């Protein structure tokens, strides 16, 4: 299926830019160029900085750019977006390393008992994340401060920082590129951001796989030693809290399932929430999200190919998660049912807090109820999808997720 149908409601000016870009590529020209050396040099010129810190990031960036060029089939808008996305992550990396050198007290910041939310995508992790972030005793990384972390946010000006409007404008472009995306996944500068964005400036991150068709990169990433990546993750959190005050972080990413052993090695006192939903439903919903997102960057989006790849990819992630979990203290993990999250999220959170010895204050609970009132489930439209559209069925589910279905069956009903 050609994605011209998927992106047919894009604004006319975006279609025109893509059309012109396609004509140039047919004549052998492509700009801007997605090459590691050029991106690195451009980031150095843009920031006036040269120290990237741990150079292990280069491997990920090299494999990523190669795969994007060879496989992703980007439109002209996609090419431009990818260029500036990668450049921005490089600049953020340079700036964070420089800031740590200028303010060494950042390195002495302590990340205390962070709470990580994970599970297959589309298992209720986002609403759980956003609700817990309403707790005034909890710190969550908002999209605006993760996107524009220099200088680090200050507590007194956190809600009025001028970067909020700038990032909201950036995120509005995502809806123009992929109309209807907000009906599947809410975005906003003030909303808590996933850890894939933090890890992206170390260039081993699922964020890139959501946006672009890069199967070799994603397979490579699953087999990497993530010690340096999670060290970078901790460095990022230290930076964000230096002028804000220490507090307990709540963080989220489905991709953490693939790397629980590295996560716990970096954060030995972490509390982990694993949300569960039937894989067939979760992967169908996520495949719909991926199709919608990628249609903003490419005119070649095949739902069947996406469904099959996401099903296989996340089956590997789940297997890694189960394997790592078996080596952990089970008291460190709290399991959540998707159906319970949908029907009574506040009760789920109360149980979660009790399990980890956290205090759910009256103020926090009130804020959570108010957030639910302001953000009903289908605020931006209903998300319709079916497994068949993505080539998925119960046989596929049974073949790929037999261990998960056996291990967590009691949480899937």
pLDDT tens track for 284-325 = 999 999 999 999 999 999 999 999 999 999 999 999 999 999
Q: Which residue has the higher pLDDT, 232 or 21?
A: 232
In a domain, 372, yes or no: yes
As for how many domains the chain has, the answer is 1
Residue 275: phi and psi, rounded to 5, are: -90, 140
- CB-CB contact of 147 with 167 (8 Å): yes
Range(s) of the domain holding residue 280:
12-411
Q: What is this structure's pTM?
A: 0.94
With CA atoms as reference, report the closest residue to 147 among 78, 194, 81: 194
Block residue for tokens 């992929």: 178
In sequence order, what are the residues at sequence separation of 6 or more whose Cβ sits closer than 8 angstroms to the Cβ of residue 157? none
In a domain, 125, yes or no: yes
Q: Dump pLDDT digits (tens) for 258-282.
A: 999 999 999 999 999 999 999 999 9
In the predicted model, what is the mean pLDDT of residues 87-91?
98
In the predicted model, what is the mean pLDDT of residues 394-405?
97
pLDDT at residue 115, rounded to an integer: 98
Please, is 50 exposed, middle or buried when counting C-beta atoms within 10 Å of its C-beta (0-12, 13-18, 19+)?
Answer: exposed
Residue 217: phi and psi, rounded to 5, are: -60, -45
* pLDDT reading at 332 higher than 90: yes
- CB-CB contact of 117 with 333 (8 Å): no
In a domain, 287, yes or no: yes
Q: How far apart are CA 79 and CA 63, in angstroms?
A: 16
Share the mean pLDDT of the chain. Answer: 93
Going from the C-alpha of 30 to that of each of 10, 65, 73, the distances in angstroms are: 22, 14, 12
In a domain, 355, yes or no: yes
- CB-CB contact of 32 with 78 (8 Å): no
pLDDT at residue 380, rounded to an integer: 47
CA torsion, ordered 262, 130, 122, 203, to nearest 10 deg: -40
In a domain, 7, yes or no: no
* HEC letters along 375-412: CCCCCCCCCCCCHHHHCCCHHHHHHHCHHHHHHHHHHC
pLDDT at residue 255, rounded to an integer: 97
In a domain, 6, yes or no: no
pLDDT at residue 8, rounded to an integer: 57
Tokens of 132: 């817990």
Lowest mean pLDDT among 3-7, 185-189, 241-245: 3-7
Confidence grade of residue 176 (pLDDT, cut at 50, 70, 90): confident
The greatest distance separating any two alpha carbons of the chain, rounded to the nearest whole angstrom, comes to 64
Helices first, then strands: H and E counts in the chain: 20, 5
Q: How far apart are CA 243 and CA 151, in angstroms?
A: 9
With CA atoms as reference, report the closest residue to 85 among 253, 195, 199, 208: 208
Confidence grade of residue 158 (pLDDT, cut at 50, 70, 90): very high
pLDDT at residue 4, rounded to an integer: 39
In a domain, 2, yes or no: no
Going from the C-alpha of 361 to that of each of 11, 135, 247, 272, 366, the distances in angstroms are: 46, 8, 15, 21, 9
In a domain, 300, yes or no: yes
Strands (E), 212-270: 248-252
pLDDT at residue 6, rounded to an integer: 53
Residue 152's domain is classified under what CATH number?
A: 3.40.50.300
With CA atoms as reference, report the closest residue to 33 among 69, 2, 63: 69
CA torsion, ordered 341, 346, 352, 358, to nearest 10 deg: 160
Q: How far apart are CA 58 and CA 127, in angstroms?
A: 34
Residue 199 three-state SS: helix
Confidence grade of residue 382 (pLDDT, cut at 50, 70, 90): low
**DSSP code of 4?**
T
Q: Dump pLDDT digits (tens) for 237-262.
A: 999 999 997 789 999 999 999 999 99
Our measurement of the distance from residue 300's CA atom to the centroid of its chain's CA atoms, rounded to an integer in Å, reads 23
* pLDDT reading at 367 higher than 80: yes
Q: Which residues of 246-260 are buried (b: 16+ CB within 10 A; e: fewer)?
A: eebbbbbbbbbbbbb
Q: How far apart are CA 97 and CA 106, in angstroms?
A: 11
Strands (E), 91-160: 115-119, 138-139
Tokens of 227: 């010690």
In the predicted model, what is the mean pLDDT of residues 219-225?
97
- CB-CB contact of 196 with 253 (8 Å): yes
Confidence grade of residue 94 (pLDDT, cut at 50, 70, 90): very high
């Amino acid at each position: 299926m050609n994605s011209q149908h998927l992106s047919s409601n894009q604004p006319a000016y975006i279609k025109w830019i893509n059309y012109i870009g396609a004509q140039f590529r047919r004549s052998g020209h492509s700009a801007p160029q997605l090459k590691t050396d050029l991106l690195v040099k451009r980031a150095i010129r843009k920031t006036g900085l040269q120290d990237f810190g741990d150079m292990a990031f280069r491997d990920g960036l090299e494999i990523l750019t190669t795969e994007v060029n060879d496989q992703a089939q980007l439109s002209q808008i996609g090419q431009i977006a990818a260029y500036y996305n990668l450049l921005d992550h490089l600049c953020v990396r340079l700036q964070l390393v420089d800031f740590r050198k200028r303010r060494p007290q950042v390195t002495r910041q302590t990340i205390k008992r962070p709470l990580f939310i994970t599970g297959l995508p589309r298992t209720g992790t986002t609403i759980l994340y956003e609700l817990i972030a309403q707790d005034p005793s909890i710190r969550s990384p908002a999209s605006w401060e993760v996107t524009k972390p220099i200088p680090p946010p200050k507590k007194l000006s956190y809600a009025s920082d001028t970067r909020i409007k700038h990032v909201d404008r950036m995120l509005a472009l995502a809806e123009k590129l992929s109309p209807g995306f907000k009906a599947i996944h809410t975005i906003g500068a003030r909303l808590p951001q996933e850890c894939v964005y933090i890890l992206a400036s170390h260039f081993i991150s699922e964020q890139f796989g959501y946006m672009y068709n890069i199967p070799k990169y994603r397979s490579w990433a699953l087999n990497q030693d993530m010690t340096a990546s999670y060290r970078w993750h901790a460095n990022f959190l230290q930076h964000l809290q230096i002028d804000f005050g220490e507090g307990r972080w709540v963080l989220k990413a489905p991709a953490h399932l693939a790397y629980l052993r590295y996560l716990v090695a970096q954060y030995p006192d972490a509390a982990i929430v694993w949300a569960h939903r039937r894989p067939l439903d979760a992967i169908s919903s996520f495949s719909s999200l991926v199709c919608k997102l990628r249609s903003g960057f490419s005119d070649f989006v095949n739902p069947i190919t996406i469904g099959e790849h996401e099903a296989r990819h996340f089956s590997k992630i789940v297997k890694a998660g189960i394997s790592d979990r078996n080596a952990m203290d089970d008291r460190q993990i709290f399991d959540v049912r998707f159906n319970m999250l949908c029907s009574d999220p506040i009760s789920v959170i109360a149980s979660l807090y009790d399990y980890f010895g956290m205090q759910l204050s009256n103020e926090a609970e009130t804020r959570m109820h108010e957030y639910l009132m302001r953000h009903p489930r289908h605020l931006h439209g209903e998300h319709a999808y079916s497994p068949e559209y993505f080539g998925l069925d119960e046989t596929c589910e049974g073949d790929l997720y037999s261990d998960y279905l056996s291990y967590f069956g009691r949480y899937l009903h």
